[in-house]
Structure 1
Amino acid sequence: MNRLPPLIDVHHHAIPPAYAQALGNRVAIPGVDYPTWTPEESLAVMDRNGIATAVLSITAPGVTFLDGDEDPSAARRMARTVNEYFAGLIEAHPDRFAAFAVLPLSDPAAAKDELAYAVDELKLDGAGVLTSYQGRYLGDPAFEPVLAELAERGVPVHVHPGTPPTRDLATFDLPPSLYEFTFETTRTVASLLFNGVLDRLPELKMIVSHAGGTLPFLAQRLTYGPTIGRYLTERAPADVIGTLRRLYYDIAMSANEFALPALQKLADPERILYGSDFPFMPAAHTAENTAGFAEYDGWGEEERAAVGRTNALALFPRLAALSG
């Protein structure tokens, strides 16, 4: 097995106590066994797998499960509670934890306010968003002001898939995270591409999950938009592949012989980041994914160090300062 650097895990979930209590018995992700979590469990898994730092985030459904609450401020208040919890964890373990602030993006104005508080006051390291909100994907014009602010601030944004808004998931009786999550990532990036958002915001530091879902496989196909429908001629990026190569990709659930070669063909090693998906994938999978990353023979030691650590240091200034 190749020697790994002290890893930075950019796809590592947390379940703060107040969040778990508010979620209660709601179905967070259909068919998914919702795990328990404590910071101590994360630290133990990190220690066993050579993970120096985990960048924490909230997975689906984010705070969207409160969108229909009688109190219209419920989602905003939960985002604030989670972000302040993250700040406390970082204060207690500054070299072990970083965090993506959860944003109540169903309300873009509230999301901009929470972003400012999370970054300016709490000093969190980035922002975390889902692939869609109330049936709208990230390429929807309503979300562009928030994405523009993230780009202007140079704040990394991690995009996590959620349950598809329009699909009858009972058709196959399978958890959406088993396969639909990969398509959700592809759908939201396609919306960003063909609505011109990624080209208007070239400085946006966007990290997409799970090796980009199906993007490596479909990258060339996405160049055929105007060929298939002439109405897309004015909407298609001039360089679809080049635009996709500006994205960052984590390798959560993807450090294997099938996914990594495809991702490697699309993305430069400088745009790929290590991820574990703990605790929604168990500790045994963290070990499996880490071993798959270590054993993959498509990268040399310098590239492996970049994917495992130095690419993340370039994205997260606070962690770079701590590493000296």
Structure 2
Amino acid sequence: METNDMAVSGDSTDPGPAWARAIDVHHHVLPEFYVSELRRLGFASTLPGVDRPAWHIGTSLDMMDRQGIRAAVVNVWPGVPAVDPAIGARFARRVNEFLAELVAAHPGRLGAFAVLPLPHVDESIAELTYSADVLGLDGAALVTNYGGVYVGDPALDAFHAEAARRGTPLFVHPTAPPVAQPSFDLPLSLCEFPFETVRLAAQLLYHRTLDRHPGLRVILSHGGGGIAYYAARLACGPLIRADLAERLPEDPVGYLRRLYGDTAMIGDPHAFPSVRAFAGVERLLVGSDFPFMPESFSAAGSRHVVDRGGFTARERECIEFGNAAALFPRFATHP
């Protein structure tokens, strides 16, 4: 029988944390005012069937200390829902000001991704500008789709152009698909989240978004969802419909490898080999998915990545902090 490396074994030896000075780019915060405001607007702070974890900044910092995470770039998920542009802009501003205060209170330990009132392009560009130039936030956190408008849609090209011009890292987390899917009385995130990321990757690929906006830096959570497994299949479009050849980059798999991914939820004997074979070391970042996933789970997954990755010391440094420090300058200069 195959042993699941993430299961608790009878060995009482504690190998210690996998990381020593990691930068965690997939770390959620859930302020109470945000949850209350979502509820007031008629939205939930989690998807149906998903438990909302208790959160306080102290729980994040304690987890980081235990797991060798020197810094985290936090995000508020699921961000601002697709609402009236003025309402969305006000909500985003309140969240981003909270994030700026949180970062300022913990120098060197925290950065933050701004939330934006997408799919409203003008308001999102204005908030991206304010969050970076005034609040000093580190990037923007998006979800895969806003009311059915996926973030690779050409309708958002002006936003992509501004993010590319600035070199703003965009962290994209999946959410529920816009069309109801069979759930089998299970949480949608259990099955749909990897497919949501693959849907977005297909859109980015066939719209050549990264080619049209070469400065765009996109981080896809959970190791890129199912992209490692589906990349070659996504390149088969012209074999299925000839006219798709005109829309496909010359090296489609190489194109998809330009996307960043994090280590959240890929540290097992089945998912990790696929991501390891697909993702270049320079595009892999540490992610915990805390507190939506328990600390023990992310700790075991990180240990699997480190122990089974076959990384050289330099490669491990890239994954642990070098790649993130290149994306987020505050951590390149802070000891």
Structure 1: stretches of 5+ with no match in the other structure: none
Partner of 1:205: 217
Tell me how far 1:249 sits from its aligned partner: 0.7
Q: 1:312 aligns with which of 314, 320, 324?
A: 324
Q: 1:124 aligns with which of 137, 145, 163?
A: 137
Q: Note the alpha carbon deviations across 1:4-61, whole angstroms, 9 max, x for none.
A: 330100000011232022123843312100112111110011111111101101222x
Partner of 1:285: 297
Partner of 1:67: 83
Answer yes or no: is the 8 Å Cα contact 1:103–1:127 preserved in 2: yes
Tell me how far 1:132 sits from its aligned partner: 0.7
Answer yes or no: is the 8 Å Cα contact 2:26–2:289 preserved in 1: yes
Answer yes or no: is the 8 Å Cα contact 2:18–2:299 preserved in 1: no
SS, match of residue 275 in structure 1: coil
Task: Tell me how large the CA RMSD over aligned residues is.
Answer: 1.6
The alpha-carbon distance between structure 1 residues 36 and 4, as it changes in their structure 2 partners (threshold 3 A), is closer
Q: 1:83 aligns with which of 89, 96, 104?
A: 96
What is the CA–CA distance in structure 2 between the aligned matches of 1:317 and 1:187, rounded to whole Å? 30
What is the CA–CA distance in structure 2 between the aligned matches of 1:255 and 1:304, rounded to whole Å? 15
Answer yes or no: is the 8 Å Cα contact 2:18–2:67 preserved in 1: no
Q: TM-score, normalised by structure 1?
A: 0.93
Q: Note the alpha carbon deviations across 1:223-275, whole angstroms, 9 max, x for none.
A: 11111111212111121111111111111111222222211221110110010
Answer yes or no: is the 8 Å Cα contact 2:267–2:305 preserved in 1: yes
What is the CA–CA distance in structure 1 between the aligned matches of 2:268 and 2:281, rounded to whole Å? 16
SS, match of residue 202 in structure 1: coil
Q: 2:179 aligns with which of 166, 174, 196?
A: 166
Q: Does 1:52 align with 2:67?
A: no
Partner of 1:234: 246
Residue type at the aligned position of 1:125: D
Answer yes or no: is the 8 Å Cα contact 1:160–1:208 preserved in 2: yes
Tell me how far 1:177 sits from its aligned partner: 1.1
Instruction: Return 291-300 or 101-110, whichever deviates more.
Output: 291-300
Partner of 2:58: 40
What is the CA–CA distance in structure 2 between the aligned matches of 1:222 and 1:106, rounded to whole Å? 26
Q: Does 1:16 align with 2:34?
A: no
Partner of 1:143: 156
Partner of 2:311: 299
What is the CA–CA distance in structure 2 between the aligned matches of 1:101 and 1:280, rounded to whole Å? 19
Structure 2: stretches of 5+ with no match in the other structure: 1-14
Q: Does 1:184 align with 2:196?
A: yes
What is the CA–CA distance in structure 2 between the aligned matches of 1:267 and 1:162, rounded to whole Å? 23
Q: Alignment identity in percent?
A: 46
Residue type at the aligned position of 1:109: D
What is the CA–CA distance in structure 1 between the aligned matches of 2:215 and 2:56, rounded to whole Å? 35
Residue type at the aligned position of 2:160: L
Tell me how far 1:143 sits from its aligned partner: 1.3
Q: Note the alpha carbon deviations across 1:187-211, whole angstroms, 9 max, x for none.
A: 0111111112122122211100111
Tell me how far 1:87 sits from its aligned partner: 0.5
SS, match of residue 265 in structure 2: coil
What is the CA–CA distance in structure 1 between the aligned matches of 2:262 and 2:71, rounded to whole Å? 15
Tell me how far 1:104 sits from its aligned partner: 1.0
Moved over 4 A (4+): none
Partner of 2:118: 105
What is the CA–CA distance in structure 2 between the aligned matches of 1:186 and 1:124, rounded to whole Å? 28
What is the CA–CA distance in structure 2 between the aligned matches of 1:199 and 1:262, rounded to whole Å? 25
SS, match of residue 175 in structure 2: coil
